[in-house]
Chain A
Amino acid sequence: MTLFKRRHVLQTLGLGLATLAACGLTVASAEDRKSVRIGYAVSKTGPNAGGAGITTIPNYVLWVKDVNDAGGLELPDGSKLPIEVVEYDDRSSAEEVVRAVERLATQDKVDFMLVPWGTGFNLAVAPLFDRFGYPQLAVSAVTDKAPEFVKRWKKSFWLLGGGHDYARALAAVLVEANKAGTINNKVAMISIADGFGIDLVTAARPAFKEAGLEVAYDKTYPIGTSDFTPLINEAKASGADTFVAFSYPPDTFALTQQSQVTAFNPKVLYLGVGTGFPVYFKNNGENATGIMSLGGIDPNNQENAAYRKRHEEVTGQGPDYWGSVITYASLQMLQEAIKRKGLDREAVSEELSTGTFNTVLGETKLEDNQLRQLWWTGQWQNGQFVGVAPANRPGASKVVLPRQPWKAQ
């Protein structure tokens, strides 16, 4: 009998804990205009939590703290209202994120919604944001279709560019290095058989061809691959000076480790998501130098440096070098647009589309509802992941090739 009770307690406890973990939600009483309600659904658990936990969630937390510490969101009449957050965990499920966004709009009746993490999830909720009339500042979404999307969903904004932008920029860097005689024109390329990898590699194939680069090895690998030795050996045997991997963070980390072990030293090493994570430099130290990826920062931008410092102080972790700062900038744009136009979502969307904003990125203005002032290619230099392409953008660092061979750690 006691055992039975104990089991019961355990079950209840388990259920309780699971529920707690699954939906950390806060709903407070909705009295009129003592606050501005900001809602969002984001992957706090599940496979996407790793990405959301570095690029999205810490910036939401930081921004809400920054705003509330300053007395709240400023409205056109100069009054300030504190932010009240309604948060859902989508558990990395597309059905769940759609349900949560619908709930935010219809039941919680939030004033503004922040976006979920990931290209697929942003696309999944775009029709809902549109139907309920909320502006959608999609940050962690890389898509070449943005120009079409902004026509279909007028209040959608796409801030991280498309696969073609990154692929063309990389091709330009490679062609330049080839002309200088630093590398040969062969590229070995691997990609993950999932959204990001497929998008990027589909863009890279024609971009490399156009640029006159020869793709000597081109394979995809399934999600969950943990041993890259065969791929690295094949790439090594292909004779290419350039190795490109459109990979997810676990693969990026594994590729780095396994390249060191197999003494694989391509002159250009370009890896995917995860290269710009602070932990990447922490784990690899000096060996990170010269490795390239998507994104980057201008190391001399004071605003950005201050943001990075504050991010680390408040959230206890550093921001990544790609989407993090864009996420924070998108929130600043929203904040400023509310200050200029109030809580009217229509007017705020219009302002986001046409206005010019001062953010951690510097002066920021969207073109055709898209952010185009981005770093397409970055490289680890002196302990920072700096933007190297477009090379003519102010603040660009000069790309340093060839990459030094691995040093023993």
Chain B
Amino acid sequence: MIVTAILAGLVLGGTYALIAMGLTLQYGIARIMNLAYGDMIITAAFLAFALYSGAGINPLIGLAIAAPAGFILGYAVYALMMHPLVARAKDRVSLETDSILATFGLLFVIQGVLFVIFGGNYTSYSYLNVPVTILGTNIAANRLLAFVLAVVIGGLLYLALTRTRWGTALRAVAVSPSSAALVGIDVDRQARFAFALGGALAACGGVVISMYQTFTAASGVVFTMKALIVVIMGGVGNVLGALSAGLILGLVETFVATYLDPGLTLAATYLIFLVILLWRPSGLFGRSAR
């Protein structure tokens, strides 16, 4: 029983981690609090659905289409909408306020476009809904895929950020954009790249989630909320933090549902959120002072 709960929790946590990693890049490095993040996820989910049900394209191939598309969309959004805000922002706080307002608007634009194209109906299809037996427990292959993707992407990003020159530059921008410019880093370019990368990750998350979760054009905000909790819990801008916070959240929810009461999962989510923030105000892996 306990093995089942742990595995189910890890797999659920994998989904949370997967959707949160993109946001942590966008918020931590590009410093854009992207409220339309969840809608980018849903857009990718609809793309995967349209490809699968319309053209019979395997969602795994859909993943290969959606990820670059997400990158391009993220890049374009940053270049067109965010760049002017960054350019005129006096400090971090004013950029955050402006970006929240701008992406709040973007949220409705994306949602509106999705409504016009796909309507407001529940959308779902099922793909890879086959059991994979691990340690005597059946786990859905599509959820396992989300978990594996989260761990692989999280691990690769972590290595890239800590071991490469490019990653060091990104982290420098995250720590102090003004000082990063002094050592010859093109802050704007790095931020744009981080934002676009976040878009690509959102697209990956959307495609994988569409395989097993029912979504409507309006459900983006749910994903934004969940991702935001994970990001803040893990420490803003920290990929490893998002991964571990996501997994912790999944484990807590599953354990509470199994051993206490399924009705308390939401309460448990926010309780653990509160406890972690009281213990480490800047998140699990966050730096204590900026």
Contacts and interface: CB of A to CB of B under 8 A. Distances in A.
Nearest to B215: A250
Interface in A1-43: 3-4, 6-7, 10-11, 13-15, 17-18, 20-22, 43
A230 B258 contact: yes
B216 interface: yes
A277 interface: yes
A164 interface: no
B84 A3 contact: yes
For A7, A230, A234, the residue with the greatest tally of chain B CB atoms inside 10 Å of its CB is A230
Given A17-B113, A229-B8, A193 B263 contact: yes
Contact of A274 (B122, B139, B257): B122
Given A219-B261, A261-B138, A4 B218 contact: no
A49 B218 contact: yes
Interface stretch (A50-58, A298-306, A397-405): A50-58
B168 interface: no
Contacts of A257: 126, 129, 140, 212
For B12, B87, B119, B217, the residue with the greatest tally of chain A CB atoms inside 10 Å of its CB is B119
A354 B266 CA distance: 48
Contact of A231 (B126, B130, B214, B257): B257
Nearest to B253: A227
A46 B122 contact: no
Contacts of B125: 283
B90 to A, nearest CB: 17
A45 B218 contact: yes
Interface string B14-38: 0100000000000000000000000
A45 B115 contact: yes
A79 interface: no
B47 to A, nearest CB: 18
Nearest to B138: A262
A45 B131 contact: no
Nearest to A223: B266
Contact of B218 (A11, A47, A54, A224): A47
B145 to A, nearest CB: 13
A250 B120 contact: no
Given A7-B81, A227-B254, A250 B214 contact: yes
Contacts of B109: 13-14, 17-18
A254 B210 CA distance: 12
A328 B111 CA distance: 29
A46 B108 CA distance: 11
Contacts of B140: 257-258, 261
Contacts of A6: 80, 84
Interface string A238-281: 00000000000110011001101111000000000010010100
A52 B266 CA distance: 27
Contacts of A394: none
A253 to B, nearest CB: 5
B120 A44 contact: yes
Interface residues of A, number: 58
Interface in A154-206: 190, 193
Interface in B69-91: 80-81, 83-84, 87
A106 interface: no
Given A7-B84, A261-B131, A53 B120 contact: yes
Given A21-B115, A221-B262, A279-B122, A226 B213 contact: yes
Contacts of A230: 5, 8, 254, 257-258, 262
B120 A17 contact: no
Contacts of A254: 212-214
Nearest to A251: B214
B116 interface: yes
A10 B81 contact: yes
B14 to A, nearest CB: 11
B121 interface: yes
Contacts of A22: 112
Contacts of B106: 14
B155 interface: no
A135 B254 CA distance: 48
A222 interface: yes
A225 interface: yes
A233 interface: yes
B282 interface: no
A332 interface: no
A11 B4 contact: no
Contacts of B12: 226-227, 229
Contacts of A220: 262-263
B271 interface: no
Contact of A261 (B122, B130, B263): B130
A15 to B, nearest CB: 7
Interface in A84-123: 92
B262 A225 contact: yes
B8 A18 contact: no
B263 A46 contact: no
A268 B258 CA distance: 23
Interface string B209-230: 0001111111100100000000
B129 A21 contact: no
A391 to B, nearest CB: 31
A267 to B, nearest CB: 20
Contacts of B126: 257, 283-284
Contacts of B262: 190, 219-222, 225, 230-231
28 contacts: A3-B83, A11-B105, A15-B105, A17-B113, A18-B105, A21-B108, A21-B112, A47-B216, A47-B219, A49-B121, A49-B218, A53-B119, A53-B121, A219-B263, A221-B257, A221-B265, A222-B262, A224-B266, A227-B254, A229-B254, A230-B5, A230-B262, A231-B257, A233-B8, A250-B214, A253-B122, A253-B214, A263-B131
Task: Please list the 6 inter-chain residue pairs (A to B) with the smallest Cβ-Cβ separation, ordered nearest first.
Answer: A49-B120, A21-B112, A250-B214, A230-B257, A18-B108, A221-B262
Given A17-B112, A54-B121, A92-B218, 10 more contacts: A18-B108, A21-B115, A21-B116, A53-B120, A220-B263, A222-B262, A225-B265, A230-B254, A253-B122, A283-B124
